[in-house]
Structure 1
Amino acid sequence: MASDGPGAVRVAILGASGYTGAELLRLLSSHPHTSIAALSGERSAGSPMGAVFPHLAFGPPGGFVASLPDLTTTASVTIIAQLPLDTVRVVDLSADFRLRDVDMYATWYGAPHAAVELQAQAVYGLTELARDAVRGARLVANPGCYPTSAQLPLVPLLTAGLIKPADIIVDAKSGVTGAGRAAKVGTLFCEAADGMSAYGVASHRHAPEIEQGLSDAAGQPVDVVFTPHLVPLSRGILSTIYVKLADGATADSLRECLATTYAAEPFVHVLPSGVAPPHTRHVRGSNHAVMGVYADRVAGRAILVCVIDNIVKGASGQAIQNMNVMCGFDESAGLGSTPVFP
């Protein structure tokens, strides 16, 4: 992002031909303070917008251009390392700056971090929980989709000491867009439809990201049991989270804590007692997160359910939310879309 004068920001999107790129373009098309300056796509250079995204053919003009060098071969982290962060602000939707520990990054991502000197500058941008830090940042690491759905309900409860940091289980389901737009056998219609499967069992890269945030909140190391699943829908995440109550805590006190924490937030909503658990349809196409709290039938335990749209609040919408905070815009600018139903 670069300023075009007071109240105006020029935006370049790297890797714009995927699902998150499509959502960025859709949402930014209604943003009052931005213009698209450049788009890059690994296989889309020179293509008009309508050829890559037919649903955007009648929206913002422009196409995929080669105005930024070597985009077909260079990872985004390498490009970011070359940008003048004194004049450009960056929201990185990749995982490159999410983990503070660069050795842990190397362990989980299979290669050394390519911009270690920048890692100390990066702010982890779970907007509702890091707004002040995001406001002054030049480089924001946009959270992953699963970590967003897990941390929004868990961080306030750990901070308040209402749940025990041990034995937290996050059982999460995601739509197929979470696997990206590139053709893969596992996401072909006949492979993904009419069934559900676990993947990344005990080895998914979002686990250390979740644990980093929860450990910060608890003030001690926190390990989670995290298992993601692929379900046959295009978009959405539903995370069912199992926790042990701290002494004296109840499901009602957990709900009250979350409701108080997010009372003034435009995008995070806590369901009242007695309301059925949220559904992914309740947030489809929007930047909203909806959560509910339920007493388990097993004494001393509670169940949290959180839903988000994985490519809006879980990616592009939260990136725009972070951009708005960084640039001093209304935080909801460009994010006014209500959920799509049916």
Structure 2
Amino acid sequence: MIKAGIFGATGYTGCELVKILQKHPHVHVAFATSQSLAGQTLSDVYPQAPYLPLILGEAAPFEAVEVVFLCLPHAAAAETAVRALTAGVTVIDLSADFRLKDADTYANWYDKQHPAPHLLAEAVYGLTEFAREQLPGAKLVATPGCYPTSILLPLWPLLTANLPITSPIIADAKSGTSGAGRTPKAGTHFIQVHNNFAPYKIGRSHRHLPEIEQAMGWFHPDAPSLIFSPHLLPVERGILSTIYVNFSEQITLEEIRPYFTQLYANEPFVCLLPEGELTTLAHVTHSNKCVIGLTMSGSTLVITSAIDNLVKGAAGQAVQNMNVVFGIEETAGLI
């Protein structure tokens, strides 16, 4: 039995993680932390959540666990990761602190110097399907952001196939409000979101953009440029990304589909829809799936990709990564 600790258990992602791990056949949750609600239980905060006492982060007993999940704000996560790694504990980070490999890029996008730049090189970027060979035995895993997961999984087969793609690729993505986190913000109040649909951080403004571009560069050193346009949906959870890819040469859907079927044929959590079907949020909510649909519009490939931002976009993918790190069945706790 793997003993796990969860930092930041009262956020939406942290609570989702607790619910997954409580049902995991190989994991026991040894502790859960909350800086603002220590002394209460998780079920006091979320009535549907398991009964789990909440303690302060500084009181967390690292000696009692083999792995910790960090559902913390950026910078705070890195500081906690250093403490955990020093204690010999494996870290699965769900913040942004170890996703970017360059400390200067991190500083530019997160407005502060990285607290532990010496760890960036060793962190495994945990897009599980892409990183599966790097994950076994890893001590530090950076779980990707939700938007990047929904965009990178459908782009990976195309960019590694060396197809004649022209710039820019356009990713028009929509997220449910839980993606903004539990901390109240004016733009995510019910009265602002209900019966509304709004773009935000259009242009080169969203912090997930350098993460997406970094991974695209791993897929292909001359990857096309990207226009990323996020939107806020008036729903609780889910991300639907519509991605437009143009080609410099004539190409058909029959030529493109095999790149997806070959790469994802044996993947338990990536599903390619039959030709003619379009992806919806209903395909993925409350699951660890990424569902992809492919459509040609003239010379443009239109990809529809959906994930649950709290599961495949966060807690579920973190557990998937942990399963691979510890050498247990990848689907454990997730199906």
TM-score of the pair, normalised by structure 1: 0.90
Structure 2 residue 22 is matched with structure 1 residue 29: yes
Q: Structure 1 residue 272: deviation in Å? A: 1.5
Change in Cα spacing, 1:329 to 1:86, as seen in structure 2 (3 Å) is: farther
| Matched position secondary structure for 1:313 | helix
Q: Which residue of structure 1 aligns with residue 37 of structure 2?
A: 44
Distance 1:210 1:18 in 2: 24
Q: Structure 1 residue 253: deviation in Å? A: 2.2
Distance 2:110 2:102 in 1: 12
| Matched position secondary structure for 1:209 | helix
Structure 2 residue 229 is matched with structure 1 residue 236: no
8 Å CA contact 2:35–2:57 kept in 1: the answer is no
Q: Which residue of structure 2 aligns with residue 92 of structure 1?
A: 93
Q: Structure 1 residue 87: deviation in Å? A: 2.9
Q: Which residue of structure 2 aligns with residue 259 of structure 1?
A: 261
Deviations 1:36-62 (A, max 9, x none): 111111311110222012102xx3x42
Q: Which residue of structure 2 aligns with residue 304 of structure 1?
A: 303
Deviations 1:105-125 (A, max 9, x none): 111111111101111110100
8 Å CA contact 1:286–1:309 kept in 2: the answer is yes
1:53 pairs, out of 46, 50, 54, with 46
Change in Cα spacing, 1:165 to 1:30, as seen in structure 2 (3 Å) is: farther
8 Å CA contact 2:323–2:332 kept in 1: the answer is yes
Q: Which residue of structure 2 aligns with residue 193 of structure 1?
A: 194
Distance 2:29 2:248 in 1: 49
Deviations 1:244-288 (A, max 9, x none): 12535322322221121101010000012122x111011110001
Unpaired segments ≥5 residues, structure 2 = 61-69
Deviations 1:59-114 (A, max 9, x none): 3x421013634999981211111223673111100001001111111111111111
Structure 2 residue 52 is matched with structure 1 residue 62: yes
2:274 pairs, out of 248, 272, 275, with 272
8 Å CA contact 2:92–2:141 kept in 1: the answer is yes
Between 1:85-94 and 1:112-121, the stretch displaced more is 85-94
TM-score of the pair, normalised by structure 2: 0.92
8 Å CA contact 2:43–2:52 kept in 1: the answer is no
Q: Which residue of structure 2 aligns with residue 330 of structure 1?
A: 329
Aligned residues: 323
Distance 1:307 1:173 in 2: 10
| Matched position secondary structure for 1:292 | strand
Q: Which residue of structure 2 aligns with residue 13 of structure 1?
A: 6
Change in Cα spacing, 1:68 to 1:246, as seen in structure 2 (3 Å) is: farther
Deviations 1:180-216 (A, max 9, x none): 0111121111100101101111100011111111111
| Matched position secondary structure for 2:36 | coil
Q: Which residue of structure 2 aligns with residue 4 of structure 1?
A: none
Change in Cα spacing, 1:67 to 1:106, as seen in structure 2 (3 Å) is: closer
Distance 2:226 2:309 in 1: 21
Change in Cα spacing, 1:85 to 1:166, as seen in structure 2 (3 Å) is: farther
Between 1:219-228 and 1:317-326, the stretch displaced more is 219-228
8 Å CA contact 1:211–1:222 kept in 2: the answer is no
8 Å CA contact 1:244–1:301 kept in 2: the answer is yes
8 Å CA contact 1:131–1:325 kept in 2: the answer is yes
Q: Where in structure 2 are the equivalents of 1:63-142 lying within 5 Å?
A: 63-66=53-56, 68-69=58-59, 75-84=76-85, 87-142=88-143
Between 1:183-192 and 1:140-149, the stretch displaced more is 183-192
Deviations 1:273-309 (A, max 9, x none): 122x11101111000110011001xx32110000000
Distance 1:164 1:279 in 2: 26
| Matched position secondary structure for 2:55 | coil
The aligned amino acid for 1:63 is: P
| Matched position secondary structure for 1:204 | coil
Q: Structure 1 residue 138: deviation in Å? A: 0.8
The aligned amino acid for 1:250 is: T
- Identity among equivalent pairs (%): 45
Q: Structure 1 residue 165: deviation in Å? A: 5.2
Distance 2:59 2:182 in 1: 23
| Matched position secondary structure for 1:68 | helix
